[in-house]
Amino acid sequence: MSYDFNKIKIANRNSLTYFNRLKEEHTEALQKLKSSLFEVHVRMEEISKTQNIYALNTNYRKNIFSPLHVENDETKKENEAKAEYDALKEKRDLLERKIDGEQIQIKSLITRCNQLLEAEKQIQLLKETQTQQDEEMNNLRQKEFDDNAFEFVDDEENSKKFEEVQKEHIQKIEMLHLFDQTYLSSILNQQVRGPIDQNMHKLEIIKEILVSDPIQAKLMLEDVRSSGQAISHALLDQLEKMDFFLEDKDSLHQTLENFLNQMKNEHLVDINQKIPDQLPDMDFIKILYIYRLLKIFFDNIYQHSLSKKIDFICSEQNHSIEFSIEDYGKGIEDSAKEKSKWYSGLHRADEIIFILQGRLSIENTGHGTRVRFSVPVK
């Protein structure tokens, strides 16, 4: 499973920025508290000196006028100074506690920032390791992809194995063909033949009541018109599934461009496409099968992946046309093919690849699904 280290790195960097900002805020608050504490200490020292003077004067007066004692302005000022000094002591203690708290917070934030800086280094190391592992895995997959290439063999033992595999594929292809015929017959019977018979019956009734009940005849004609539209839509839908509108004179390049433009118009998805300006000429039958493969894989994305972005790459390599379709959705399950019905798109894709003598691989990338297939030019 691969990870998006760029997202992890961004998240780590955002956390580091957040804690650095907190550290700066607490450092600023600490400086303000220290400034306030310094002012309190200065004021306390001033009051302490003043109290000493007041105490000296009071003692002098007490010695002269004793035993009588009359509170004068000097005594009041001495009491006020003492009260202010006591208040400043409380403020000093409070400021010292706050300073201790801020220093603990700053120390904790420095530790967190250092941990995040170390994490950033580790993320970079993991990214480099993952990149190396991905390259090795891609090389392995390419080898497996190449090993799965369809090859004719001459020796007798392998020829027998090939014949068995060929018979199995041919049987599946025939079953799919019969299934499609049965399905098409059922759809045409339900959505075309049945409604046409009903409309014929309604037209007979309209013919009978056209003069006697024109209002009812008009309503029935509207029903026939609506039914005719539904029949037309059903036929168009089936014709599209049969690739009736695919132009046999279009090149592979034009077919790919038309298909991708159609997907962009029909679905709210961003398709990043790379198609060479020049592609070799191919038989229409091969282009038709490639078109069907693309429909299968794109339909799977729209129905199951729910991805809003698709990377599509077409290239010519080693006398083959190679295709890569990568989405960023849920990701295909390893057992998806085994769980799907025998007439599903994934099984159909296997048979098309066999007919084309091509290669196919489907993998979960950790952030979506990547489909790769190739078709020999000749």
Q: How is the chain split into domains, by residue range?
A: 5-145, 156-241, 252-376
* 3-state SS, residue 344: coil
Contacts made by residues 337-340, CB under 8 angstroms, sequence distance 24+: 337/362
Q: What Cα–Cα distance (Å) separates residue 10 from each residue in 6, 17, 46?
A: 6, 10, 54
Who contacts 275 (Cβ-Cβ below 8 Å, separation ≥6)?
A: 253, 256, 257, 312, 314
Structure tokens at 175: 């079953």
- The single residue listed with the structure tokens 């066999």 is 354
Q: What integer pLDDT is reported at residue 351 of this predicted model?
A: 93
How does pLDDT run across 129-172, given as a tens digit for each residue? 777 766 766 666 566 555 555 454 455 666 677 778 777 888 88
Rounded Cα–Cα distance for residues 141 and 370 (Å): 12
303 neighbors 291 (Cβ within 8 angstroms):
no
Q: What integer pLDDT is reported at residue 253 of this predicted model?
A: 93
Structure tokens at 217: 């005849």
The three-point CA angle 362-4-293 to 5° equals 20
Q: What integer pLDDT is reported at residue 70 of this predicted model?
A: 47
The three-point CA angle 230-232-235 to 5° equals 110
Cα dihedral across residues 170, 173, 177, 178: positive or negative: positive
Q: What integer pLDDT is reported at residue 59 of this predicted model?
A: 52
How does pLDDT run across 176-220, given as a tens digit for each residue? 777 778 878 888 888 888 999 999 999 999 989 988 999 999 999
Q: What is the pTM of this model?
A: 0.55
Q: What integer pLDDT is reported at residue 152 of this predicted model?
A: 47
CATH architecture for the domain at 5-145:
Orthogonal Bundle (1.10)
Amino acid letter for position 18: Y
Determine if residue 318 is left, alpha or beta; phi over 0 gives left, psi from -120 to 50 gives alpha, anything else beta: left
HSE, side-chain direction, 13 A CA sphere, residue 115: 8
378 neighbors 319 (Cβ within 8 angstroms):
yes
Q: Please identify every stretch of the chain with a pLDDT value under 70, giving residue numbers as ranges.
A: 1-4, 51-74, 133-134, 136-159, 243-245
12 neighbors 112 (Cβ within 8 angstroms):
no
Q: Strand pairing partners for 270?
A: 309
CATH number of 252-376: 3.30.565.10
CB crowding 318-356: b at 16 or more within 10 Å, else e? eebbbbbbbbbbebbeeebeeeeeeeebbbbbebbbbeb
315 neighbors 280 (Cβ within 8 angstroms):
no
Q: What Cα–Cα distance (Å) separates residue 372 from each residue in 190, 278, 314, 375?
A: 38, 20, 10, 11
CB atoms within 10 A of CB 307: 19
Order of strands across the sheet with 369-376? 270-274, 309-317, 320-327, 369-376, 359-364
